[in-house]
């Protein structure tokens, strides 16, 4: 049986499932939220965040999640995706549609390995979209990897509860298999540097877009697509806090230089 508590090795606190966060974006049905709660509790995940839910009535949620009052009571609510993901250092999102953008696409087991590894250093989130529409590109832009589930192409749609259950099971299996020593090695490989969370990366991305606009880098109408590729590149790089601050400073200085020399494209 996996121990879901925190384990201390030297000065490194290794967390497993307690650092995994399940995020539901605009869930419409409380029964589906309950199915999510039940799936998470089945596999030791206790942190659930809701972004702009239609209702989220605890009594209705409990209908499909009996004996999970502790997880229901701990559910956090947020108005925006940025608020829900701001303190996360790694984010994966499930989508049924393969898209043409430059996102890294993995299957559930690969995403679970990334999530559990990231959870040894900070919060790692797995994001699910609303039942009728999934996730928009603006949310996927904030994700390090995109997860697609291989299914029968003639009947490929999973409901929300199924998708959460599948990912929670994969995360649980991976968390059981990764020894503490391996997770500690992953942290030490970074030299003890803390990974940058999204609250730190988003301002950097905004500064990057302003700087690239100032130097007229976006010469066609494909600017949003190019910026999406830039974001994906930085997310794949896995910047730490110091590196994110350095890039933010570089982009800030580019914009400031353009303004000082009167060559600001704006």
pLDDT by residue (tens digit) across 156-172? 778 999 999 999 999 99
Q: Could you tell me the sign of the dihedral formed by the alpha carbons of 133, 139, 141, 144, in that order?
A: negative
Per-residue pLDDT, 110: 92
Interval 114-141 mean pLDDT: 91
d(CA 127, CA 155): 22
Range of the domain at 214: 198-260
Do 65 and 182 fall into the same domain? yes
**Dihedral (Cα; 258, 221, 83, 244), 10-degree rounding:** -40
Per-residue pLDDT, 43: 94
d(CA 119, CA 184): 11
Do 220 and 114 fall into the same domain? no
Please name the residues in contact with 204: beta carbons below 8 A apart, sequence gap of 6 or more.
Answer: 234, 244, 247, 248, 251
Q: pLDDT: is 194 or 168 the higher one?
A: 168
Burial of 59 (0-12, 13-18, 19+ CB in 10 A): exposed
Count of domains observed in the chain: 2
In a domain, 232, yes or no: yes
Under a CB-based contact definition with an 8 Å cutoff, are residues 71 and 65 in contact?
A: yes
In a domain, 74, yes or no: yes
Do 57 and 143 fall into the same domain? yes
Do 183 and 126 fall into the same domain? yes
Domain boundary (189, 221, 246) is at: 189
State yes or no: pLDDT of 130 exceeds 70. Answer: yes
Query: What is the CB-side half-sphere exposure of residue 112 using CA atoms within 13 A?
Result: 22
> How many other C-beta atoms are found inside a 10 Å radius of the C-beta of residue 29?
20
Please name the residues in contact with 28: beta carbons below 8 A apart, sequence gap of 6 or more.
Answer: 53, 54, 130, 131, 132
Per-residue pLDDT, 99: 57
d(CA 84, CA 132): 21
d(CA 37, CA 22): 9
In a domain, 159, yes or no: yes
CATH number at residue 224: 1.10.8
Query: What is the CB-side half-sphere exposure of residue 142 using CA atoms within 13 A?
Result: 28
- pTM for the complete prediction? 0.77
Q: What is the DSSP string of 44-84?
A: T--EEEEES-S---HHHHHHSSTT-HHHHHT-EEESSHHHH
Do 29 and 151 fall into the same domain? yes
Give the model confidence (pLDDT) of 75-87 as tens digits. Answer: 999 999 999 999 9
């Amino acid at each position: 049986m996996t121990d879901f508590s925190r384990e201390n090795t030297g000065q490194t606190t290794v967390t497993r499932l307690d650092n995994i966060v399940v995020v539901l974006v605009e869930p419409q049905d409380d029964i589906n939220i309950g199915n999510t709660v039940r799936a998470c509790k089945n596999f030791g995940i206790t942190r659930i965040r809701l972004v702009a839910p239609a209702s989220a009535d605890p009594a209705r949620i409990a209908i499909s999640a009996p004996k999970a009052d502790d997880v229901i009571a701990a559910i956090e609510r947020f108005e925006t995706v940025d608020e829900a993901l701001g303190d996360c250092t790694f984010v994966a999102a499930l989508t049924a549609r393969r898209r043409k953008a430059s996102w890294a696409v993995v299957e559930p087991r690969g995403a679970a390995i990334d999530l559990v590894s990231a959870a040894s250093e900070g919060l790692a989130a797995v994001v699910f979209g609303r039942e009728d529409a999934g996730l928009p590109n603006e949310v996927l832009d904030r994700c390090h990897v995109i997860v697609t589930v291989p299914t029968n192409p003639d009947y490929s749609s999973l409901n929300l509860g199924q998708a959460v259950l599948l990912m929670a099971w994969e995360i649980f299996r991976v968390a059981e298999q990764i020894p503490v020593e391996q997770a500690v090695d992953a942290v030490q490989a970074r030299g003890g540097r803390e990974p940058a969370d999204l609250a730190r990366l988003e301002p950097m991305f905004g500064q990057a877009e302003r700087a690239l606009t100032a130097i007229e880098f976006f010469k066609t109408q494909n600017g949003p697509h190019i910026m999406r590729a830039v974001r994906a590149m930085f997310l794949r790089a896995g910047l730490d806090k110091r590196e994110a601050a350095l890039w933010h400073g570089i982009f800030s200085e580019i914009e400031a230089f353009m303004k000082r020399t009167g060559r600001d494209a704006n």
